[in-house]
Amino acid sequence: MKDNVLEYKGYHGSTEYSATDRCFFGKILGIRSVILYEGTDVESIENDFHESVDEYLKYCDQKGIAPEKNYSGSFQVRVSPETHREIAERANAEGKKLNTVVAEAIAEYIAAK
């Protein structure tokens, strides 16, 4: 994980600094809900991040809803119908599932950085 990303209870949060406001701020990453936190130093932003995650989980529990999980490992990719057909045909010819081909391409992309 990057140095500027916080982690707590399986959630990841950004950290940024506002020179104008002289404070740190961030949001929980990888979920649709917008959950923000802030602090004036490293300790306070970490504490507010933890409190925000705890409050989110408490809210979900009280409402009887499942909390969103960040980076579930599943996402939708939109391509043209032609690209979809070509990759599906090639994957099938190689005896692979489309998900396997996409996962391999993503792994190659990540390794190339």
The model's pLDDT over 41-70, given as tens digits with 9 standing for 90+, comes to 999 999 999 999 999 999 999 999 999 987
pLDDT value for 26: 96
pLDDT value for 69: 85
Mean pLDDT of 72-92: 90
At a CB cut-off of 8 Å and minimum separation 6, what does 57 contact?
A: 9, 67
Query: Where do the domains of the chain lie?
Result: 5-63, 81-111
Beta bridge pairs of residue 23: 18
Mean pLDDT of 8-25: 94
pLDDT band, residue 113 (cuts 50/70/90): confident
Beta bridge pairs of residue 38: 25
**Is residue 39 over pLDDT 80?**
yes
User: Which residue carries 């404070």 as its tokens?
Assistant: 23
